Amino acid sequence: MIAPLPAPLASWSEAPRVRPLNAEAVRADGRYVLCWLQQALRANDNPVIDAAIRLGNALGLPVLVYQGVREDYPYASDRLHGFMLAAGRDLARDCAARGIACVQHVDRAGMREKGLVYRLAADSAAVLVEDQPTFVARWQSERVAARADRAVLAVNAACLVPPAVLGDGIGSTSAFRRRHEPLRAEWQHATAEVPAVARYDGSLPFLPDDLGAMSDADLDALVAAADIDHSVPPSPLFVGGRTGALEGLQRLVGAVLPSYAGTRNDATRPKGASMLSPYLHFGVIGPREVMDAVDAAKAPAACKDKFADELLSWREWFHYRARTLAAPERYDRIAGWARETLEAHAGDRRWDGETLADILHGTTQDETFNACQRQFLIDGWMHNNLRMYWGKRIIAMTADPEAAWAVACYLNDRLSLDGRDPSTYGNIASSFDGGAPARDEAPVYGKVATRSDGSTRHRPNGPQWLHEAANRPAPTPTVPDEVPTERYLVGS
């Protein structure tokens, strides 16, 4: 049984974003409303915080924002840890500016804490979490909601239009667009931020880390002291935190958007794509803020429309889809016809002799694949136009389609700053089952459409660009004995 929405949230204009996760009531004896952020790492225009303040104000209680960074989430590495801690530092500073207490803890040698969220929840009136449909943020929220003896409420912070207002049963991207587009203007207007009644300065069950006061060197030291994968280094391309997100937004409206409709699909152009996906994945910036800037920008309508289609139609479609699946990270989400035809060709001869190390390190016999993979290895991001080629090539480089799914998710999740996202699994699934079944059967792929590298190689400078991209000096992350199983990935 699930509890009804508490009255202060039921009457909120953003109520469709909020979903009770358990049957427990709000506890009047709580000392604060706990706002536990795993991925929506921003202090402003954050519906999770706004919902917490609204509930706290109605109860006469302060809000306590909590971010904990553990060492044992899948793929924890210098790259992901560093990006999250930089976002966390700005979260702390911007919460302080809003008059909200934000407490943080980073597990590391000699400073490990167990069950912090449960300990903090024990003194709360209610726990607000973000409503993420994939990966750790989903599994952990569900786990905490099942064990907590007070209300746990999930708030959608990732989408412009809350998926709940779209209704059930949308089965295609065209139907999604028809339902989604008319609702955008209404949801783009942020509700005014209300001040919190008070700042929590009471006792805590642990000694927090003061991320807000830390220098870059301090953050680096935290990452170095954590027991995580140190073989995946930070991306030199993506500056963490709000500085990076806002620079990215400036770059989008100033340099990218004016020609976006024509250049977005050209991987050889350094300013063709927005490169905002890492910031969107970690919620350092939200789609509302991005669309406000896009609307205000000087750019042709066709370019703004194209961008809105990527950010709002495609991204929010995959969020919507993931919500309908018990485990969006699992191979069985791929359409039955595609699994059938791929499995029928599982015995076909594969691309010669590629090992997991070759695939991971971008040292295969396929120059274009290596160019793609080295973007993941070095930059922690890959251009959109390369990703479909990359996903489909993995099908031919691995023993069978299920192994291909596991390897593609593994590489994307471990290396890409925007991995582990509803868009990760939705798009990898599309590289297996996107489009209609082909009439003719191809080796290995069966009726699944194949993809050439022509959209990059046939550009004027394409061959040279691919050659250089495939030979960029890249880090060589450790090679596992085998890629993680789905049981591990879906957190069961």
Ligand X SMILES: Cc1cc2nc3c(=O)[nH]c(=O)nc-3n(C[C@H](O)[C@H](O)[C@H](O)COP(=O)(O)OP(=O)(O)OC[C@H]3O[C@@H](n4cnc5c(N)ncnc54)[C@H](O)[C@@H]3O)c2cc1C
Binding stretches for ligand X (CB under 6 A) = 264, 273-277, 280-281, 310-311, 314-315, 318, 384, 387-388, 391, 412, 416, 418-419, 421, 423-424, 427-428, 431
Rounded to whole angstroms, the Cα distance separating 247 from 274 reads 11
Task: Pick between residue 128 and residue 382 the one whose CB is nearest to ligand X.
Answer: 382
Q: Which residues contact 114 (CB under 8 A, 6 or more apart)?
A: none
Nearer to ligand X, 102 or 257 (CB): 257
Closer residue to ligand X, CB minimum distance, 341 or 424: 424
Is 71 buried (19+), middle (13-18) or exposed (0-12) by CB count in 10 A? Answer: middle
Of 162 and 391, nearer to ligand X (C-beta) is 391
Least Å distance, CB 346 to ligand X, is 20
Name residue 154's beta-bridge partners. Answer: 19, 129
Nearer CB in complex with ligand X: 219/403: 403
* String of DSSP letters for 160-208: SS-GGGG-S---SHHHHHHHHGGGHHHHHSPPPPPPPS-B--S--SS--
Contact predicate 7/30, CB 8 Å: no
Q: Residue 286 CB, nearest distance to ligand X (Å)?
A: 11
- Shortest distance (Å) from residue 30 CB to ligand X: 36
Minimum distance from CB of 196 to ligand X (Å)? 30
Residue tagged 């991204």 (tokens): 315
Q: How far is the CB of 212 from ligand X (least distance, A)?
A: 27
Query: Minimum Å distance from CB 18 to ligand X?
Result: 23
> CB-side exposure of 125: number of CA atoms within 13 Å?
21
- Distances in whole angstroms, Cα of residue 442 to Cα of each of 300, 345, 446: 41, 9, 5
Among residues 92 and 388, whose Cβ is nearest to ligand X? 388
Residue at token pair 């209610």 = 126
Query: Angle, to 10 degrees, between the axis of helix 422-433 and the axis of helix 401-415?
Result: 150
Q: Which is nearer to ligand X, 107 or 329 (CB)?
A: 329
Q: How far is the CB of 335 from ligand X (least distance, A)?
A: 16
